[in-house]
Amino acid sequence: MTERQAVRTEDAPAPFQGAPYSQAIAAGQFVFVSGQVGVRAGESQPVSASVAEQTEQALANLGAILAAAGSGLDRIVKTTVYLSSLADFAEMNEAYRRQIPDPPPARATVGAELPGEFRVEIEAVALI
């Protein structure tokens, strides 16, 4: 049986208000990254109201966590994107396209109720 190990970096936001989840869990050849929103480490408000800017920050957070696990955005095999409004799909998709290397990973995009002013959340599974 493969051991699992929590991944933690100060370069990405800590779990909100001490919630019981890890930034990521490494297990075997994979790292499973918890959903990341568009907030900088140490802050609690979105980087802006823009879906594009929130997407870019969420992906920067994913990148920092993946780096701490010995991985990177180029090693992602699957993402799930949660949007507070599916009307924001095109704007999110353009920002996502600019930061995710080819070939892009498998992805699902779903509408979801997100906390506060957050408009996008992204989780990922990547190879280590």
Domains detected in the chain: 4-127 (3.30.1330.40)
Residues of the chain predicted below pLDDT 70: 1
pTM: 0.96
Q: Distance between CA atoms of 93 and 55, rounded to whole angstroms?
A: 9
Share of the chain above pLDDT 70, in %: 99
- Quick one: which of 8, 6, 12 has its CA closest to 26? 6
